[in-house]
Amino acid sequence: MASTIDDLGRCAIHTMTNKPWSLAQCIAGYQKIGAGGISVWRNVLEAQGAKVSGKMLRDAGMVVPALVRGGFFVSADPKQRQSAMDSNRVCIDEAREIGAKMVVLVVGAVPGMSLEEARKQVTGAIATLAPIAQDAGVKLAIEPLHPMYAGDRSCINRMTEARHVCEQVGHPGVGIAVDVYHVWWDPNLQEEIALAGKQGTLFAFHVCDWRLNTRDLLDDRGLMGDGCIDLKTIRGWVEAAGFDGFNEVEIFSSEYWATDQDAYLEKIRAAYLKHV
């Protein structure tokens, strides 16, 4: 049984949810609806840089669960892999600057390489980055992506494979970001969530919904309640595993991005209270 939710104190919103907005607009909007947290995508740091962004976030008193996103470690070309590592070091440094608790990792995949081989590259990269992230006071959260992204975005498509990487790396700063959009269908979800709780790797919980008749593989996520995911049941599993962090709203939706973002935020607030 999920706990009762009466307000948005434990709600964090991903800035990409309101793609048309700047960081300042996101901060103002999320504070207006009472969200306690904000997870920041790197694109909204560009205008003013990480240092100034960090000051804006601290001045606003917003908790920053995550900077999104690092990763994309996989390549057949060693130079590209090195370039990805450099980019991830910058990302970790930005996370430190803005006070983000973790960097979310979309680990990557490339056509022509087996997913198994790709996961080996990912494991090596994360093992290298873990102590660097620890020095920066930042955790690394592997986000399993839906199998429909296995072609070129992520070779980790279930919590099981994310766990295997965590177990192999064996560093307390490496864990898992559970996004319902990607894993809701997984028959092993409940047991993997419980296991992540026991292993101390349950770092994040992302919510949105899976629309029936999804029209686009990337940008047609549903607002909570728009689709078929049993959010309360999954949140119950996550809480039973000991998770007490933020419920992070992360919705990519061309449809919602085209609407008035203030009115949309009101919908998010209502949907969060009713369906999460």
Burial class (CB in 10 A: 0-12, 13-18, 19+), 55: middle
- What the block records as the tokens of 187 is 């028959």
Query: Do 111 and 151 form a contact (C-beta atoms < 8 A)?
Result: yes
Candidate segments 84-92, 93-101, 152-160, 246-254, binder of a copy of itself by CB under 8 A? 152-160
- Gyration radius of the chain over CA positions: 17
Nearest CB to a copy of itself, comparing residues 83 and 188: 188
- 172-201 residues near a copy of itself, rule: CB under 8 A: 184-187
CA distance 134 to 138: 6
CA distance 126 to 214: 32
- What the block records as the tokens of 64 is 């920053």
Per rule CB under 8 A, is residue 108 in the interface with a copy of itself? no
Among 19, 139, 146, 221, binds a copy of itself (CB under 8 A): 146
Among 61, 78, 111, 170, binds a copy of itself (CB under 8 A): 111
Nearest CB to a copy of itself, comparing residues 97 and 186: 186
Nearest CB to a copy of itself, comparing residues 1 and 212: 212
- Coil, strand or helix at 239: helix
Which residues of the chain form contacts with a copy of itself (CB under 8 A)? 111-112, 114-116, 146-148, 150-152, 157-158, 160-161, 184-187, 210-212, 214, 217, 227-228, 230, 233
